[in-house]
Homo-oligomer: A and B are copies of this chain.
Amino acid sequence: MIQSVAFIGLGAMGYRMAAHLPQHFDTVMVWNRNFAKAEQHAAEYATHAVSLEAAAQADIIFSCLPTSADVEQLIQTLDIKKGAIWVDCTSGVPDSAKKLAQDLAEKDVTFLDAPVSGQTIGAENGTLTVMVGGDIKAFEKALPAMQAFGGLIKHVGESGAGFAVKAVNNMLMAVNLCAVAEGFTTLKAHGVDLTEALDCINASSGKSMVTETVLPQRILNRSFPLTFALPLLAKDSGIAVDLAREAKLSTPVLSIAQNMIQAASALSDKESDFSSAVKMYESWSKITLE
């Protein structure tokens, strides 16, 4: 029985994810580096803003930080409750998950890599997809806690598998982002009506999440709302190609898309939405996707 849960990292995702926990658990602790955020959360959702040390004594400890390096650094400093399950929702590095799982196992703590997808809207509605790697029994034990914010929750393999699936998912999205930018620029160069073309493609085999939502809702309307920063997509794409390299696989399409996202990220402001990667293509073609 889960008596207490903690949530570490109240960013755009974490803040919304942690908001669902009080409906399911009596004791919900929250912590954030900028502690005012934690206090605001406590005030808003009746959670408890506590010290990091206190959070580490929960039965289930969630973390949602920018990178695996942040998680590693934080865990190093902590004395975690024996028997606890650490559920890391960061979009992290599979090798880091393997290492943390091994290190924490020696201290009788189980580490699950459990990245989420579904963006802030999914976090708000509690319908996130959660892809989990690590010990299956710990997965089953932590499942009720993950259900607070998750819709589809899947155990996809051993430690690192969750991070791997997230990285490949985002890589596939990055591929589509590049391909759609390239393809629609080509169509516009040939005088095609992009709105009508998009309707056709969304009813055909070329459709993807990018054609269905990213292109019409972020790019063609020139809004580029910041919900997922381009450097983070560059990071995730990099994790995916590193996985391929590690396994000595040839992944030419993924590699090129990763290179393009990396270049677009280098050319952009850090606070650019991932969708603004198309602006690099626009600078090449002098064609605006609108």
Q: Which residues of A contact B (CB under 8 A)?
A: 94, 117-119, 129, 131, 133, 151-152, 154-158, 160-161, 164-165, 168-173, 175-176, 178-180, 182-187, 189-193, 196-197, 199-201, 203-211, 234, 238, 240-260, 262-263, 266-267, 281, 283-286
> What's the least CB distance linking A209 to chain B, in Å?
5
Closest-by-CB residue of B relative to A214 is B205
Quick one: copies of this chain in the complex? 4
Closest-by-CB residue of B relative to A249 is B285
CA distance A264 to B91 in the complex (A): 33
Closest-by-CB residue of B relative to A199 is B154
Q: Is the CB of A179 within 8 A of B257?
A: yes
Q: Which of B192, B243, B262 contacts A164 (CB 8 A)?
A: B192
Which of chain B's residues have a CB closer than 8 A to the CB of A209? Answer: 204-208
Closest-by-CB residue of B relative to A211 is B172
Q: Is the CB of A186 within 8 A of B250?
A: no
Q: Is the CB of B186 within 8 A of A249?
A: yes
CA distance A152 to B197 in the complex (A): 11
